[in-house]
Structure 1
Amino acid sequence: MKLPQSPSDGPLPVTAATPGQNRFDQLIQRVGQAVAWLVFVAMLVSVYEVIMRYGFNAPTDWAHETTTFLVATIFALGGPYALATNRHIQIRILLDRLSPQKRSWLDLLNLVLGILFCLAIGYAAWVLAFNATHAPDGSWRLETSGSSWNPPLPAFIKIIILISIALMALQQVVRISQHWRKNQ
């Protein structure tokens, strides 16, 4: 089976590695494929809620928040997955017109800027995650939703966002390392 070489060649098979992937990206891709099943779980929760609400006049107090948490988790972890599979948005008009040496330098600049972006947004995510897991006096507590069910899902999603950003920063560091080894 021939693998597509670029995003415009069509979708990649679910189990195949993207050409040029490192082992870390391959691991993130496998985890991402497992996390994608959360869409199915969210759908089941939603169907259950509809049946209970309209079929038995017994709405749940947990289905909406659970579905929101599952979808937010998928969305947050989609960043590292898109980066690992090279399926993020790319505008290559300038890059494709450059010589290989200039393209290599621009790729390196892009990786450095990616790390700087992850550090900046990671700081904001750290503050949000810390505030969601600590009371003003510094003691441990998890932020809750404030609903009748009141789960700590807001704290969990903020932690997942922080982990997602950390993964993307680490992916960029690994790629810089690969770039230096390739060009030495």
Structure 2
Amino acid sequence: MDKLLTKIEDALMLIGMLGALTVGTAQVVMRYVFNTGFVWSEIALVTLTILAALVGGSRAAAEGIHIRITVLTERLPAPVQRYANTLAMTIALAYSLFMAYAAFLYVQFLHMTGMVSVEAHIPTWIIFSIAPLTMALFSIRYIQRIPHAWRGDEVAKVEFID
């Protein structure tokens, strides 16, 4: 399952990144060379960038390189670090599950109301579907990481940038 999710995440990040790059570059050329542009380019650029960033965050959580505050845990003895990391991952999982559920409810609401993006003329629920999808990916990744944290494989590592 990890390999399949990694391939999906990689594809979504590639689509988001290349899509945003293509739309952004095309908009700049259209505006400055032809004095025109697409009304929908801004929402497309923002949506694709958010997609790539959130999926990238899920990927970082899978690799254990996600952003976290380790000021307290790094000062704890190794066995206690294990419990602290497991607790932190469990809280992150609960938060991700809550956000996935809340985002799903919001997408349902948008679908029910039939709201359409003024710029892109597409239903807004399609755009906002990124949120429950990526929060579900985060949840799956934390579910995968919690056993590692429990075994002590997930020890806070401190890296300094020169």
Aligned counterpart in structure 2 of residue 65 of structure 1, from 43, 56, 59: 43
Matches within 5 A, 1:31-180: 31-37=8-14, 38-135=16-113, 141=114, 143-147=115-119, 149-152=120-123, 154-179=124-149
Q: Distance in 1 between matches of 2:72 and 2:31?
A: 54
Give RMSD over aligned pairs: 2.5
Residue equivalent to 1:10: none
Change (3 A) 1:93 1:54: closer
Any idea what the Cα deviations from partners look like across 1:9-57, whole Å, max 9, x if unmatched?
A: xxxxxxxxxxxxxx62x55444433333332331222222222223223
Q: Distance in 2 between matches of 1:63 and 1:40?
A: 14
Change (3 A) 1:69 1:127: same
Q: Distance in 2 between matches of 1:100 and 1:59?
A: 57
CA contact 2:13–2:51 (8 Å) conserved in 1: no
Matches within 5 A, 1:16-27: 24=2, 27=4
What's the TM-score, normalizing by structure 2? 0.76
Larger Cα Rg: Structure 1 or Structure 2?
1
Q: Which amino acid aligns with 2:11?
A: A
Q: Distance in 2 between matches of 1:85 and 1:179?
A: 12
Identity %: 24
Q: Distance in 2 between matches of 1:87 and 1:177?
A: 16
Of Structure 1 and Structure 2, which has the larger fraction of its residues in helix? 2
| Total equivalences in the alignment | 151
